Structure formats: C-alpha cells, structure tokens
Amino acid sequence: MARHDGRAADQLRAIEVTRGFTGSAPGSIYIRAGQTTVLCTASIEEGVPPWKDDPENPSGWVTAEYSMLPGSTTPRKRRERQKVDGRSSEIQRLVGRSLRAAVDFVALGPRTITVDCDVLEADGGTRTLSITGGFIALVDAVASVPDLSGRLGEVFVDSVAAISVGVVDGEPVLDLDYPEDSTAEVDLNVVMTGSGEFVEVQGTAESRAFARDALDRQLDLATSGIVQLTEIQKDVLGDRWPLDA
C-alpha cells in the first residue's frame, strides 16, 4: 500500500526529541513526530494528595495534565480557561494511567510528579506522543531528586510508550497522521511497556465492524512501533535510562 506521505505501512513518522527544552521544570521534553509537536514538562512537589497520604506506608503519586494550545489546530482551538473539555480530560487520565504503570510508588517516596503535556501543533497522535515524551520527562524529573538519582532502577519498573495504528483503505498502518486518522476505517491507540506488555488499548471501528485477524495485525504493528519508540527513548536518555537492556 502506498501511503500519502510515502511511508511504508510499518514506518513511524520522523521523530525529533530535545531534552531540557525549558529551564523551569526538572523534566522538559520537546517531542515531534512528523508535524505533531508536544511540550512535556514534569514538575515535582513534596507530599501527595490527601487521599494518598499514609504516614505508615509512605508512597508517591504521578499525575498528568493535557491541553491543546489555541494555535495547534486550524481553525483556532478555544483556550480552556474554566473547565477542561471532555476530550482533554479523557486524554490526561490516559496519560496519567500510562505513566503510573512504569513507576514503583514506594520507591518514589511521598512526592507528587505532575507531567504537563501541551500540544503545540496537532497532526494526529497527540495523546500517544504525549505518553512517549512524558515518560522521558518523568525520568529526568526523578533523576533531579538527589536521593533518587542513583536509584532510578528502583523507581522505574519498566518504560512506557504509545502509538496509533489503524486500517486505511483496507490496510493496517502504523502511526497515523491527521489525513489518515480522519479517514481510517479502524482507529486504535496502543500503550505498551518496553518489555512488551499492554497498558491500554483504545479501539474503534469508524465505519464497520472488523474481524479478529485485523485486530491482531494492528496489534503486531503497534508492538513493532513500541519497540522502535523504546529504542528512541533509550538513546535520548543515555546514561539516565533506568532499565536493563
């Protein structure tokens, strides 16, 4: 199948990652996939939410927020001033759940890390790119804590990344951009750990129901994509990669 941008069915968009993009947050990642760009920052505060506070068994917490900046789409997206819209609320819960799957909260200690994912430009895959970049920002944030910097392998039980797959013109393809996503017959978002376990699979038949073998082919594509993304995360973090090969 010939895709509109010339990629093979199993090919990711070109990915660019810049660490330390801003200086105010201990974890700050600019990540770009094709034309989709997201700024992921991770901030740390001592203490945890009241419902999580247990002095006898202290542990930490990871949460996330997600937003699309007004100029990230055409036409302009209204700024969310008072209330987060339903889509953003659903996505930030997904990002938080995904990142928490990689963390040992007891090893983290009674701290809260908030990962903010702000979409600068949207061309498909904003939620999956937020998870992939958010993990890198999370590692940098944890590494900035003096008593955790030498224990990253205890805090992180695995890595996590996410990718979209779908069926376009009858064929499964990896990493959909907006033209593909907007016309896909099936659309899946897949979150996986670096060790190959599933964290979450969100899938929808946009036009008609699809068979089990089509699902299996898409999950195989997603798995290959996660392997590639995990290698990118590993290369970007270098000495800070918290896990064994």
| pLDDT tens, position by position, 95-113 | 999 999 999 999 999 999 9
Q: 227: which residues sit within 8 A by CB, 6+ positions away?
A: none
| Residues 152-170, mean pLDDT to the nearest whole number | 97
Helix axes 126-143, 86-100, angle to 10 degrees: 50
Distance (Å, whole) CA 138 – CA 114: 9
**Residue 39 clears pLDDT 90, i.e. is over it:** yes
> Is residue 245 over pLDDT 50?
no
CA distance 119 to 231: 23
Q: What percent of the chain has pLDDT over 70?
A: 98
The model's pTM: 0.95
What integer pLDDT is reported at residue 82 of this predicted model?
Answer: 61
Instruction: Examine the pLDDT at 146 and tell me if it is beyond 90.
Output: yes
Residue 43 has pLDDT above 50, yes or no: yes
SS3 154: helix
The SS3 call for residue 61 is strand
What CATH code would you report for 15-77+86-237?
3.30.230.70
CB 201 within 8 A of CB 155: no
The predicted structure's pLDDT at residue 156: 98
- Mean pLDDT (whole number) for 73-79: 84
pLDDT averaged over the chain?
94
Binned at pLDDT 50, 70 and 90, residue 129 comes out as very high
